[in-house]
A = this chain, B = another copy of it.
Amino acid sequence: MKFNVFSRLDYIVQAAGTLVLNVHALNTFKQTIINEEFWLEPYVNYSSFQSLQGEKRLVKFGVTEYTPNLSAFYQATVDNCYEINDFSYITETQVSALDSAVLPYLNPSRYCESDKLYRMAHNMFGHISNPFQQVLTLTNWINKNVQYLSGSTNSQTSAFNTVTEQAGVCRDFAHLGIALCRALTIPARYFTGYAYQLYPADFHACFEAYLNGKWVLFDATGLVPLNGFVKIATGFDAADSAVANIFGDVMFNNMEVNCELAENYFEPFYYREDSFLGITYL
Protein backbone atom coordinates (compact mmCIF):
# COMPACT_ATOMS: atom_id res chain seq x y z
CA MET A 1 0.00 0.00 0.00
CA LYS A 2 1.49 3.35 -1.06
CA PHE A 3 1.78 6.42 1.12
CA ASN A 4 3.26 9.87 0.71
CA VAL A 5 5.01 10.79 3.91
CA PHE A 6 6.54 14.08 4.95
CA SER A 7 8.25 15.51 7.99
CA ARG A 8 9.88 18.79 8.89
CA LEU A 9 11.84 19.27 12.10
CA ASP A 10 12.90 22.77 13.14
CA TYR A 11 15.76 23.48 15.51
CA ILE A 12 17.40 26.50 17.03
CA VAL A 13 21.14 25.95 17.11
CA GLN A 14 22.55 28.25 19.75
CA ALA A 15 26.12 27.16 19.32
CA ALA A 16 27.84 24.05 18.02
CA GLY A 17 26.00 20.75 18.17
CA THR A 18 25.30 17.42 16.54
CA LEU A 19 21.94 16.07 15.45
CA VAL A 20 21.15 12.44 14.69
CA LEU A 21 17.79 12.12 12.96
CA ASN A 22 15.72 9.02 12.46
CA VAL A 23 12.98 10.06 10.04
CA HIS A 24 13.72 7.99 6.94
CA ALA A 25 11.31 5.25 6.02
CA LEU A 26 12.96 1.92 6.51
CA ASN A 27 14.11 0.06 3.45
CA THR A 28 13.27 -3.53 4.25
CA PHE A 29 13.20 -6.46 1.91
CA LYS A 30 9.52 -5.73 1.35
CA GLN A 31 8.89 -2.08 2.25
CA THR A 32 9.91 -0.20 -0.89
CA ILE A 33 11.02 3.41 -1.12
CA ILE A 34 9.61 4.53 -4.45
CA ASN A 35 11.23 7.91 -4.10
CA GLU A 36 12.54 9.99 -1.26
CA GLU A 37 14.34 13.20 -0.52
CA PHE A 38 16.02 14.53 2.58
CA TRP A 39 17.45 18.03 2.85
CA LEU A 40 18.50 20.62 5.37
CA GLU A 41 17.79 24.35 5.27
CA PRO A 42 20.16 26.11 5.42
CA TYR A 43 22.41 23.63 3.74
CA VAL A 44 24.54 21.52 6.07
CA ASN A 45 26.64 18.57 5.03
CA TYR A 46 25.32 15.34 6.51
CA SER A 47 26.10 11.65 6.46
CA SER A 48 23.61 8.82 6.22
CA PHE A 49 24.02 5.37 7.65
CA GLN A 50 22.03 2.33 8.57
CA SER A 51 22.19 0.79 12.04
CA LEU A 52 24.20 -2.42 12.18
CA GLN A 53 21.24 -4.75 12.14
CA GLY A 54 19.21 -2.66 9.78
CA GLU A 55 16.57 -1.49 12.23
CA LYS A 56 16.88 2.16 11.29
CA ARG A 57 18.35 4.61 8.80
CA LEU A 58 19.98 7.59 10.40
CA VAL A 59 21.24 10.97 9.31
CA LYS A 60 23.99 12.63 11.31
CA PHE A 61 25.37 16.14 11.00
CA GLY A 62 27.20 18.70 13.02
CA VAL A 63 26.36 22.38 13.12
CA THR A 64 29.18 24.64 14.08
CA GLU A 65 27.61 28.04 14.51
CA TYR A 66 24.50 29.88 15.61
CA THR A 67 21.63 28.93 13.31
CA PRO A 68 18.30 30.29 14.49
CA ASN A 69 16.19 28.25 12.13
CA LEU A 70 17.58 24.95 11.00
CA SER A 71 15.04 22.69 9.33
CA ALA A 72 15.32 19.05 8.31
CA PHE A 73 12.91 17.93 5.59
CA TYR A 74 12.05 14.45 4.51
CA GLN A 75 9.54 13.38 1.94
CA ALA A 76 9.01 10.03 0.36
CA THR A 77 6.59 7.79 -1.43
CA VAL A 78 6.71 4.38 0.19
CA ASP A 79 5.06 1.09 -0.57
CA ASN A 80 4.69 -0.61 2.76
CA CYS A 81 4.15 -4.32 3.02
CA TYR A 82 2.43 -6.34 5.66
CA GLU A 83 0.86 -9.71 6.03
CA ILE A 84 -2.01 -10.82 8.18
CA ASN A 85 -1.79 -14.19 9.83
CA ASP A 86 -4.03 -16.27 11.98
CA PHE A 87 -2.62 -16.87 15.46
CA SER A 88 -5.48 -19.04 16.68
CA TYR A 89 -3.50 -22.13 17.30
CA ILE A 90 -0.12 -20.93 18.49
CA THR A 91 1.43 -21.93 21.79
CA GLU A 92 4.11 -20.39 23.94
CA THR A 93 7.55 -20.45 22.30
CA GLN A 94 10.21 -21.84 24.61
CA VAL A 95 13.13 -19.48 25.08
CA SER A 96 15.46 -22.28 24.10
CA ALA A 97 13.81 -22.30 20.68
CA LEU A 98 14.13 -18.58 20.06
CA ASP A 99 16.51 -17.28 17.47
CA SER A 100 19.55 -15.69 19.07
CA ALA A 101 18.90 -12.38 17.30
CA VAL A 102 15.58 -12.19 19.13
CA LEU A 103 16.86 -12.92 22.63
CA PRO A 104 17.99 -9.34 23.42
CA TYR A 105 14.36 -8.23 23.13
CA LEU A 106 13.62 -10.17 26.31
CA ASN A 107 15.95 -7.91 28.32
CA PRO A 108 14.73 -4.93 30.31
CA SER A 109 15.72 -1.56 28.83
CA ARG A 110 15.76 2.09 29.88
CA TYR A 111 12.03 2.67 29.53
CA CYS A 112 10.82 -0.92 29.83
CA GLU A 113 11.78 -2.31 33.26
CA SER A 114 10.24 -5.72 32.62
CA ASP A 115 12.21 -7.14 35.55
CA LYS A 116 10.03 -5.11 37.91
CA LEU A 117 6.73 -6.11 36.28
CA TYR A 118 7.16 -9.86 36.44
CA ARG A 119 4.63 -10.63 39.18
CA MET A 120 2.10 -8.08 38.00
CA ALA A 121 2.19 -9.31 34.42
CA HIS A 122 1.75 -12.90 35.55
CA ASN A 123 -1.01 -12.05 37.98
CA MET A 124 -2.92 -10.19 35.31
CA PHE A 125 -2.18 -12.06 32.11
CA GLY A 126 -0.37 -15.26 33.09
CA HIS A 127 -3.49 -17.40 32.88
CA ILE A 128 -3.98 -16.82 29.14
CA SER A 129 -2.49 -19.68 27.19
CA ASN A 130 -2.49 -18.34 23.63
CA PRO A 131 0.37 -15.78 23.43
CA PHE A 132 -1.38 -13.70 20.75
CA GLN A 133 -4.44 -13.42 22.95
CA GLN A 134 -2.18 -12.64 25.89
CA VAL A 135 -0.61 -9.67 24.11
CA LEU A 136 -3.95 -8.53 22.72
CA THR A 137 -5.46 -8.67 26.21
CA LEU A 138 -2.67 -6.65 27.77
CA THR A 139 -2.87 -4.16 24.91
CA ASN A 140 -6.57 -3.74 25.56
CA TRP A 141 -5.92 -3.39 29.27
CA ILE A 142 -3.50 -0.55 28.58
CA ASN A 143 -5.97 1.04 26.21
CA LYS A 144 -8.72 0.90 28.77
CA ASN A 145 -6.75 1.97 31.83
CA VAL A 146 -4.11 4.41 30.63
CA GLN A 147 -5.40 7.83 29.73
CA TYR A 148 -4.00 9.39 26.57
CA LEU A 149 -3.01 12.82 27.89
CA SER A 150 -0.57 15.09 26.06
CA GLY A 151 1.98 16.64 28.38
CA SER A 152 1.32 14.21 31.23
CA THR A 153 4.72 12.56 30.86
CA ASN A 154 8.23 13.54 29.86
CA SER A 155 11.38 12.02 28.42
CA GLN A 156 12.16 10.27 31.70
CA THR A 157 8.83 8.48 32.09
CA SER A 158 9.13 4.71 31.93
CA ALA A 159 6.80 1.71 31.92
CA PHE A 160 7.24 1.35 35.65
CA ASN A 161 5.75 4.81 36.08
CA THR A 162 2.99 4.34 33.54
CA VAL A 163 1.73 1.03 34.87
CA THR A 164 0.62 2.86 38.01
CA GLU A 165 0.26 6.50 37.00
CA GLN A 166 -1.89 5.46 34.03
CA ALA A 167 -1.51 8.51 31.81
CA GLY A 168 0.78 9.15 28.89
CA VAL A 169 1.29 9.46 25.16
CA CYS A 170 1.90 6.88 22.43
CA ARG A 171 5.49 6.35 23.50
CA ASP A 172 4.38 5.50 27.03
CA PHE A 173 1.69 3.15 25.79
CA ALA A 174 4.30 1.37 23.69
CA HIS A 175 6.79 1.13 26.55
CA LEU A 176 4.24 -0.41 28.83
CA GLY A 177 3.19 -2.93 26.21
CA ILE A 178 6.81 -3.92 25.63
CA ALA A 179 7.57 -4.23 29.33
CA LEU A 180 4.55 -6.41 30.00
CA CYS A 181 5.41 -8.69 27.07
CA ARG A 182 9.00 -9.13 28.19
CA ALA A 183 7.83 -9.80 31.74
CA LEU A 184 5.78 -12.63 30.22
CA THR A 185 8.90 -13.89 28.36
CA ILE A 186 7.59 -12.67 25.02
CA PRO A 187 10.24 -10.73 23.04
CA ALA A 188 9.00 -7.24 22.25
CA ARG A 189 10.37 -4.13 20.60
CA TYR A 190 9.54 -0.50 19.93
CA PHE A 191 8.18 0.48 16.52
CA THR A 192 8.04 4.04 15.15
CA GLY A 193 6.54 5.15 11.92
CA TYR A 194 4.43 7.48 9.93
CA ALA A 195 0.80 6.66 10.58
CA TYR A 196 -2.13 7.21 8.25
CA GLN A 197 -5.24 8.80 9.82
CA LEU A 198 -3.45 9.94 12.96
CA TYR A 199 -4.97 13.22 14.14
CA PRO A 200 -3.24 15.48 14.88
CA ALA A 201 -0.60 14.22 12.48
CA ASP A 202 2.63 13.22 14.22
CA PHE A 203 5.17 10.46 14.34
CA HIS A 204 3.58 7.47 16.01
CA ALA A 205 4.97 4.79 18.29
CA CYS A 206 3.65 1.33 19.02
CA PHE A 207 5.22 -2.07 19.58
CA GLU A 208 5.86 -5.48 18.12
CA ALA A 209 5.69 -8.80 19.95
CA TYR A 210 7.49 -11.86 18.65
CA LEU A 211 4.88 -14.58 18.27
CA ASN A 212 5.30 -17.86 16.51
CA GLY A 213 8.33 -16.60 14.63
CA LYS A 214 6.86 -13.28 13.49
CA TRP A 215 7.02 -9.72 14.79
CA VAL A 216 3.35 -8.85 15.26
CA LEU A 217 2.29 -5.21 15.60
CA PHE A 218 0.17 -3.96 18.52
CA ASP A 219 -0.94 -0.42 19.27
CA ALA A 220 -2.33 0.18 22.74
CA THR A 221 -3.46 3.69 21.84
CA GLY A 222 -6.01 2.41 19.33
CA LEU A 223 -5.66 5.73 17.52
CA VAL A 224 -5.00 4.49 14.00
CA PRO A 225 -5.70 1.52 11.77
CA LEU A 226 -2.95 -1.06 12.06
CA ASN A 227 -2.35 -1.30 8.32
CA GLY A 228 -1.62 2.38 7.71
CA PHE A 229 2.01 2.50 8.92
CA VAL A 230 5.20 3.33 7.13
CA LYS A 231 7.89 1.86 9.29
CA ILE A 232 10.76 4.14 10.32
CA ALA A 233 12.56 2.05 12.89
CA THR A 234 12.42 -0.64 15.51
CA GLY A 235 14.50 -0.77 18.66
CA PHE A 236 14.65 -1.70 22.33
CA ASP A 237 12.64 1.39 23.30
CA ALA A 238 12.57 5.13 22.67
CA ALA A 239 16.14 5.50 23.97
CA ASP A 240 17.16 3.45 20.99
CA SER A 241 14.69 4.70 18.39
CA ALA A 242 14.09 8.36 19.03
CA VAL A 243 13.15 10.51 16.06
CA ALA A 244 16.01 12.80 17.03
CA ASN A 245 19.02 12.74 19.32
CA ILE A 246 20.44 16.16 19.99
CA PHE A 247 23.87 16.91 21.40
CA GLY A 248 25.15 20.33 22.27
CA ASP A 249 23.36 23.61 22.50
CA VAL A 250 20.46 22.87 20.19
CA MET A 251 16.78 23.25 20.95
CA PHE A 252 13.81 21.67 19.29
CA ASN A 253 11.47 24.32 18.02
CA ASN A 254 8.69 22.97 15.87
CA MET A 255 7.67 20.15 13.60
CA GLU A 256 5.26 19.04 10.93
CA VAL A 257 4.44 15.48 9.97
CA ASN A 258 2.17 14.13 7.31
CA CYS A 259 1.13 10.76 5.93
CA GLU A 260 -1.25 10.52 3.01
CA LEU A 261 -2.61 7.64 1.03
CA ALA A 262 -1.11 7.44 -2.46
CA GLU A 263 -3.71 4.99 -3.69
CA ASN A 264 -7.42 5.14 -4.15
CA TYR A 265 -8.63 2.70 -1.63
CA PHE A 266 -7.83 1.91 2.01
CA GLU A 267 -9.65 -0.57 4.13
CA PRO A 268 -8.72 -0.01 7.77
CA PHE A 269 -7.65 -3.05 9.75
CA TYR A 270 -8.04 -3.21 13.51
CA TYR A 271 -7.80 -6.09 15.95
CA ARG A 272 -11.01 -7.46 17.33
CA GLU A 273 -11.42 -9.22 20.64
CA ASP A 274 -12.95 -12.26 18.98
CA SER A 275 -10.31 -12.67 16.29
CA PHE A 276 -6.79 -14.03 16.20
CA LEU A 277 -5.67 -12.22 13.08
CA GLY A 278 -2.42 -10.35 13.64
CA ILE A 279 -0.49 -8.00 11.38
CA THR A 280 3.23 -8.21 10.60
CA TYR A 281 5.21 -5.57 8.73
CA LEU A 282 7.75 -7.05 6.39
Contacts and interface: CB of A to CB of B under 8 A. Distances in A.
Contacts of A253: none
Contacts of A165: 116, 119-120
A108 B239 contact: yes
Nearest to A124: B145
A248 B112 CA distance: 20
Number of copies: 4
Main secondary structure of the interface of A (DSSP, over half): mixed
Closest 3 CB pairs of A and B: A62-B96, A18-B95, A119-B166
A18 B94 contact: yes
Interface string A29-64: 000000000000000000001011100001011100
A38 to B, nearest CB: 16
Quick one: which of A97, A112, A113 has the most chain B CB within 10 A? A113
Nearest to A108: B110
Nearest to A95: B18
A100 B51 contact: yes
A240 B104 contact: yes
12 contacts: A20-B103, A49-B100, A58-B100, A60-B95, A60-B100, A61-B96, A110-B113, A115-B239, A116-B164, A119-B147, A120-B145, A164-B164
B145 A96 contact: no
A119 B165 CA distance: 6
A75 interface: no
A205 interface: no
Nearest to A165: B116
